[in-house]
Structures are given as C-alpha cells and as structure tokens.
C-alpha cells in the first residue's frame, strides 16, 4: 500500500507539472478569444501519455502483482490507457497539432 501511495504521488506531480500548465495555457487562450486547438491537443496528448507511462512504470515496479485486479496500479493503468483512446486518440491529437503547425508555417 505504501509503495502504491508513493507511485501515485510521483504520477500526480509529473502530470500536474507539465500537463496542468499546458491546460491552463490553452484555457487562457480560449478565454481571451485566441485560437487554442493546437495547445489543447498538446495538453491532452502530454497528460494522457504521461499518465500511461507512470501507470506502466508502477506495474513494472510491482511485477506480476501489478496485473492483479486487487492492486490499485492495475486500475490506474486501465484508467490512464483509456485517456489515450477516449475523446480522440493520441494519433488524432498529433494530426491536430501537425495541421496547426503547418498552418502557422504558411502564414
């Protein structure tokens, strides 16, 4: 249980650091009437991939016990993995980012 708490805290600090700032930046752009789709896609991509990475690392630390449904790490991994699929896959987010970058380069 203690190891699970430590992993959860590490995960939360990592996700909160970059993804939260990116999310706030996208929200600020939207609030001020500026284009924000690229920044929103970047924030979602970073948050979902970081969550999956951290949950995967938790399972790696726990070994075979990480896959047991009684362990919180298994649920965290399932929840993190669905964020890469739900509301636009990571590949779609990358396409949105790339499309916006190309538009910026043309202008």
Beta strands in 1-107 (DSSP E): none
> Burial of 44 by CB count in 10 Å (0-12 exposed, 13-18 middle, 19+ buried)?
buried
Q: Give the catalytic positions in this structure.
A: 87
- DSSP 3-state assignment of 69? coil
Tokens representing residue 61 in the block: 């630390």
């Amino acid at each position: 249980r203690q190891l699970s708490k430590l992993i959860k805290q590490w995960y939360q600090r990592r996700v909160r650091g970059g993804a939260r700032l990116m999310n706030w930046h996208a929200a600020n752009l939207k609030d001020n009437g500026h284009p924000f789709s690229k920044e929103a896609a970047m924030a979602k991509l970073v948050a979902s991939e970081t969550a999956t990475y951290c949950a995967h690392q938790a399972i790696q630390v726990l070994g075979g016990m990480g896959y047991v449904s009684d362990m919180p790490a298994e649920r965290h991994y399932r929840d993190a993995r669905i964020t890469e699929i739900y509301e636009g896959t990571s590949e779609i987010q990358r396409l949105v980012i790339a499309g916006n970058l190309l538009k910026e380069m043309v202008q």
